[in-house]
């Protein structure tokens, strides 16, 4: 074994514990997102922020979740509501323009607080501040909120679901359309946090490239399993399960914000 071979093996061994956590989490959370169209991203962020800084977590989260969302949108491509996405993009564009001129990195406690409070949007009484992504004005507001929250907290699933869970869309249309929306917002997040991070400290604080490559089949497997389970749910159960699941995740984040876990 040459010295270069030794360095490569040592480098892989040093990153292996975290790599295993990232890859296993990628499979499980991709499966969860494949079923519910959300929640997986919140859980994945909870995992990686235990051993990463905010900027690094944002980049890794964005990369893995963009893989998850793109594969999910491909598997359900015939169910994508492009009319809804058009107005969502209109709402996101002003936020993207504003982000070009500002630099913002949230502290972890505020990150956890925002993530903890987001799920409670789903508990607002029906008819009170009710979001409906099928309405153009609501879809525009949805785009603006999702883009802003994805930068402020790294995750915007509950806010996005606020505009979908009370619509007349089928569960397949909800998951597929939300997947495209989140894919686009995650790509913006990667650029927003990734470029300043790489410019200041290089790639040294990020997982090595092989971890991202290994995440591709992990995410695809998890997504495939999740979409198979999705087909077995009915629309009523789907929306009910989604609300309870993200609420439990939100309570966990509130406990982290308070320093209880």
Question: Nearest 5 degrees, angle CA 233-CA 158-CA 36?
Answer: 20
pLDDT at 129: 66
Q: Which of 93, 42, 95, 105 is nearest to 68 (CA)?
A: 42
Structural contact between residues 57 and 173, judged by C-beta atoms closer than 8 angstroms:
no
Domain ranges of the chain: 3-257
Alpha carbons 73 and 51: distance in angstroms, whole number: 30
Alpha carbons 230 and 36: distance in angstroms, whole number: 7
pLDDT at 119: 85
* pLDDT < 50 positions in the chain: 1-11
Give CA separation, 23 vs 32, 39, 98, 207, in Å: 14, 17, 34, 11
Residue with tokens 């501040």: 129
Q: For the whole model, what pTM was predicted?
A: 0.89
How do residues 41-95 score in pLDDT, each as one tens digit? 899 999 999 999 999 999 999 999 999 899 989 999 999 999 999 999 999 999 9
């Amino acid at each position: 074994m040459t010295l270069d071979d030794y360095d490569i093996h040592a480098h892989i061994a040093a990153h292996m514990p975290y790599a295993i956590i990232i890859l296993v989490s990628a499979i499980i959370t991709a499966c969860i997102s494949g079923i519910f169209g959300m929640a997986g991203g919140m859980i994945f962020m909870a995992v990686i922020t235990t051993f990463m800084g905010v900027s690094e977590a944002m980049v890794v989260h964005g990369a893995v979740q963009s893989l998850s969302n793109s594969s999910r949108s491909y598997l359900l491509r015939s169910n994508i509501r492009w009319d809804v996405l058009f107005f969502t993009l209109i709402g996101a564009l002003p936020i993207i323009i504003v982000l070009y001129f500002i630099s913002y990195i949230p502290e972890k406690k505020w990150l956890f607080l925002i993530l903890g409070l987001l799920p409670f949007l789903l508990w607002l009484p029906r008819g009170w501040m009710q979001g409906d992504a099928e309405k153009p004005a609501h879809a525009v507001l949805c785009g603006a909120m999702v883009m802003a929250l994805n930068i402020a907290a790294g995750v915007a699933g509950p806010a996005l679901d606020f505009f979908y869970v009370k619509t007349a869309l089928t569960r397949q249309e909800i998951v597929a359309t939300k997947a495209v929306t989140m894919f686009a917002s995650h790509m913006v997040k990667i650029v927003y946090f990734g470029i300043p991070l790489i410019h200041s400290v290089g790639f040294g604080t990020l997982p090595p490239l092989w971890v991202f490559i290994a995440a591709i089949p992990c995410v695809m497997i998890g997504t495939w399993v999740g979409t198979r389970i999705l087909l077995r749910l009915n629309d009523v159960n789907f929306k009910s399960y989604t609300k309870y699941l993200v609420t439990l995740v939100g309570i966990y984040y509130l406990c982290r914000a308070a320093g209880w876990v």
